[in-house]
Amino acid sequence: MSRRQRDARDYARRMRVIQERGDARRARMRWATTAIVVVVLAFGVLVVAKLGGAGQGGESAAPVPTGDAATAVVSGLTSVPAATLNSVARGEDATLPKLTTGQAVLTDGGKPLVLYVGAEYCPFCAAQRWPLVIALSRFGTFEGLTLSHSASDDTFPDTPTVSFHGSTYTSQYLTFQGVETSTNERKGGTYAPLDKLTPQQQQIIATYNAPPYVDAQSAGAIPFLDFANQGLMAGSSFSPQLLKGMTHAEIVSAVADPQSSLGRTVDGNANAMTALLCKLTGGQPGDVCTSPAVTAFEKDFANVSVK
């Protein structure tokens, strides 16, 4: 691993801790009005989060692709070659979902339910959607994914991404609910509201995006991922810093290249998610769940038992 790769990895770790705490505060402020999540965040964390985001603006964002260019990006993201994912395997410093114990499998329509809660303004959500879409696309099909970017006035401004708002997901193995609670544009002093959480989704957040399942400082953070109550992720798998200055097309090109440092980071995290999803589906589809991309994480999820 080169010095540049090590520095990027270490920076990602530091910034993930600092910035997720700032996102946790914003998420709590919205959800507190529902009496589902109570907000308490230390003053020191606010200071660090603001310092971490200082001086990152002032750069012109690449325009979001439209038309055929947008279609090509979505197509590339949802069809990363299996050979690429197998070659990457664990990739570079993949972040594993935190496993729960003794929890009933969360289902919808008789299938394991994966819940994502984020917001379009959030740069950590922007980063997390890339590996999540890759992983879910191995089990089903998205319709209506749109290209977007994080807010221009937040940390890691204009991070390229996709949005789950208005999209649908079809799979014979899984159910997916993608909730984007706010847009990436301000309305007054806050980002404009978008998707509303259902009562069930609010209860899931109140239960699993809080101690003891996540630490107190990260409670309420977005993005939040619940893999059928068997695995949880609060925050992004890698730092949005790794996507800085890149276009949507360049990111898709990188994730198709197993020799790319970014590709190994994104695909490695996608493979980790895929491995847990294979546990939820009972090892189906077989060609995915027996592939090197998944078996590379066999020991990590060996104790996950879905009955």
Whether residue 100 is contained in a domain is answered as yes
Q: Are strands 111-118 and 175-180 parallel, antiparallel or unpaired?
A: parallel
Domain that holds residue 31: 3-56+63-295
In a domain, 306, yes or no: no
In a domain, 85, yes or no: yes
- pLDDT of 38: 32
pLDDT of the residue at 41: 32
The DSSP element (H or E) to which 15 belongs, if any, is: helix 3-31
Give pLDDT, residue 138. 99
| pLDDT value, residue 218 | 86
Evaluate whether residue 305 is within a structural domain: no
Q: How many domains does the chain have?
A: 1
Residue 36: inside a domain? yes
Q: List Cβ neighbours of 283 (8 Å cut-off, separation of 6 or more).
A: 289, 290
What pLDDT does 3 receive?
A: 42
Which pLDDT value is given to residue 47? Answer: 32
Low-confidence ranges of the chain (pLDDT < 50): 2-58
**Is 142 part of any domain?**
yes
**pLDDT value at residue 61:** 75
Give the span between the Cα atoms of 142 and 167, in whole angstroms: 7
Cβ-based neighbour number of residue 130 at 10 Å: 28
The answer to the question of residue 227 being in a domain is: yes
SS3 305: coil
Answer whether residue 303 is part of any domain: no
